[in-house]
Amino acid sequence: MTTPHPAPVSGGTIALEARHLVKDFRGFRATNDVTLEIREGEIHAIIGPNGAGKTTLFNLLSGFLTPTSGEVRLFGERIDTLAPHAVVRRGLSRSFQISSVFPTMTVRDNVLVALQSPTRLPGQFWSRLSTLDTLGERADGILADVGLGSAHARLAADLSHGEKRQLEIGISLTQEPRVLLLDEPTSGMGSEGIARVTGLVRQVAQGRTVVLVEHNMSVVAELADRITVLQYGAVLASGAYDDVRRDPRVIEAYLGDEAQL
Ligand SMILES: Nc1ncnc2c1ncn2[C@@H]1O[C@H](COP(=O)(O)OP(=O)(O)OP(=O)(O)O)[C@@H](O)[C@H]1O
């Protein structure tokens, strides 16, 4: 890849941090002593060969799996002991590899439902019409942000694969996350969808921290300030994209094919 990358933010606040994370599944170590730091404001990609433990790490970082040992911290606060909804309240939101969209609802209603999620708002909001108006305006704003303004009345089921991903990102944004975790946002897409979602990720990364698991190395090259490479559940390398892609161990892990990186 030849895309030049900005120098990663040096120093600064650590948004999300894993310390000596371990996850065992019935004796199989899927995450092996992972320590990594994700800095506030960066786009950080987690990459690695199939079965390297990317999804497991993603689930640990977002509170969907409890580590066997080790810690996860969000802006310094330990979150691995919290329920997923409590993690969301603290500012971390995630997308799902399997679509979380309600297919028989309209695009706008999908966002409205997410805006009314108990993780976002205290109870009793139904009773206030003004609140509903506000929610509607917020839904419209989010749909415009993710490029689905003109698709608001369509059924989610009728969206293209790429548009569904746009909607999923919109649903994640309803939680107003400071840290957004995206699980393979471009998987299964053609080049047009990939370009659209890549642009959208760059846009939503303005003013927030984004962590993505991504197989598509062109997308990683395009987006990531820093990357972490996993192999056999452990961190093989972590750092600025341009440094890590030249790391001989990383090239080796990708079957010696430097062109892939
Ligand atoms: N719930 C589970 N029970 C048992 N083993 C699991 C479980 N989840 C994951 N594993 C194993 O842990 C390893 C890492 O899986 P994981 O899905 O995290 O890898 P990955 O890097 O995301 O893979 P891929 O690129 O194929 O999506 C794999 O060997 C997988 O079989």
Ligand 1 center to 23 CA (angstroms): 11
* Poorest-pLDDT segment among 32-36, 112-116, 117-121: 117-121
209-213 vs 43-47, strand pairing mode: parallel
Q: Does ligand 1 have an atom closer than 6 angstroms to the CB of 25?
A: yes
Residue 18 lies in a domain: yes
Could you tell me if the CB of 188 is within 6 A of ligand 1?
no
In a domain, 5, yes or no: no
Let me know: does 57 contact 31? Beta carbons within 8 Å.
yes
Residue 146 placed within a domain: yes
User: What pLDDT was estimated at residue 29?
Assistant: 97
More confident: 253 or 24: 24
The pLDDT value given to residue 121: 47
Residue 6 lies in a domain: no
Could you tell me which residue, 82 or 122, shows the higher pLDDT? 82
Do the domain assignments include residue 1? no
Ligand 1 contact, 27 CB (< 6 A):
no
State the complex-level ipTM: 0.95
Q: What is the pLDDT of residue 101?
A: 85
Asked if residue 3 belongs to a domain, the reply is no
Q: Is 47 in the pocket of ligand 1 (CB under 6 A)?
A: no
Please write the tens of the pLDDT for every residue from 224-255.
999 999 999 999 999 999 899 888 888 887 75
Tell me which residue has its CA closest to atom 30 in ligand 1. 51
Structure confidence at residue 261 (pLDDT): 56
CB of residue 55 inside a 6 A radius of ligand 1: yes
Taking phi over 0 as left and psi of -120 to 50 as alpha, with beta for the rest, 108 belongs to alpha
Measured between alpha carbons, how far is 32 from 25 in angstroms, rounded to an integer? Answer: 12
**What's residue 8's pLDDT?**
44
Q: What is the pLDDT of residues 115-153, one digit of tens each?
A: 887 655 444 444 454 566 688 999 999 999 999 999 999
The CATH code of the domain that includes 38 is 3.40.50.300
Structural tokens at position 79 = 């979150």
pLDDT digits (tens, 9 = 90+) for 148-204: 999 999 999 999 888 988 999 999 899 889 999 999 999 888 888 899 999 999 999
pTM: 0.86
Q: Is position 160 within any domain? A: yes
Q: Which domain holds residue 224?
A: 14-260
User: What is the tally of structural domains in the chain?
Assistant: 1
Q: How many CB atoms lie within 10 A of CB 216?
A: 18
Whether 8 is in a domain gets the answer no
